[in-house]
Amino acid sequence: MGLSNSKSNSNYKKVSFDLNTKKEIFKYANGRRFHNDENSKYFLPNDDEEVDRLQIQHFLFCYIWQGNYSSPISDLLDRGGAKVLDVGCGPGTWLLNMSTDYPRASFTGIDISPIYPSEIKPCNLTFRTANILEGLPFPDNHFDFVYMRFLLTAFTEDDWQNKVIQELCRVLKPGGYIEIMEGDMVLNPEGDCGKILMNA
């Protein structure tokens, strides 16, 4: 939950508070809005411009891979009753697609920033503000499918090994699937054009 007051005039300070903790949810720098969670290394903004970029990125990858996921879960989602978690859901674009495509499954998204839809969304979709580094707010063996993408630089190597993977596995039901999609941080230029680009 939050309260927002913003003006385009630079004399006004933009303020967003968590009504429960009275702590500012967002911080602002160079005209951009960012999360204000000291326990997170995620460095990208979370303003409207970033939401637009994330939505374009989502639809681009859907087009490239001809779908929303790679795991063999279509039958599970069609059957009904499946529980799906998206960790680091951002604006919830992936979840909005999935919950519309699979109305018999239930979907939950978590993110450190409440930039996801709060009111207009399918009835089988919920969102929560949470940080996986502080533990996921779900019981053990709760989800059939856990999905996470593009958070490689949001965590330290220690976080990945000792917190993130353990939490994903903890909330996953036996026999469930975890899908993590990350970019390759090592560039391998192909051909003359790739070499020119790398040397530019």
- Per-residue pLDDT tens over the stretch 7-38: 333 333 444 545 455 568 777 778 876 777 67
Q: Are 117 and 140 in contact (CB under 8 A)?
A: no
pLDDT digits (tens, 9 = 90+) for 149-198: 877 777 788 998 999 999 999 999 999 999 998 766 666 767 787 777 67
Would strands 106-111 and 125-129 be described as parallel, antiparallel, or unpaired? Answer: parallel
Q: How confident is the model at residue 4 (pLDDT cuts 50, 70, 90)?
A: very low
Whether pTM > 0.85 for this model: the answer is no
Looking at the chain, the domain(s) classified CATH 3.40.50.150 span 52-181
**Cβ density class 98-121: b for 16+ within 10 Å, e for less:** bbeebeebbbbbbbbbbbbbeeeb
pLDDT at position 184: 67
| Beta strand residue intervals within the chain, DSSP E | 2-5, 15-18, 26-29, 32-35, 83-87, 106-111, 125-129, 143-149, 172-181
Q: How confident is the model at residue 6 (pLDDT cuts 50, 70, 90)?
A: very low
Alpha helices in 66-186 (DSSP H): 74-79, 93-101, 157-159, 165-171
**Cβ density class 65-77: b for 16+ within 10 Å, e for less:** eeebbeeebeebb
Q: Are 40 and 151 in contact (CB under 8 A)?
A: no
Q: What does DSSP assign to residue 152? A: G
In the three-class reduction of DSSP (H, G, I as helix; E, B as strand; rest coil), residue 164 is classed as: helix
Average pLDDT over residues 135-162: 90
Q: How confident is the model at residue 117 (pLDDT cuts 50, 70, 90)?
A: confident
Q: Could you please state the CATH topology (level 3) that the domain comprising 52-181 is classified under.
A: Rossmann fold (3.40.50)
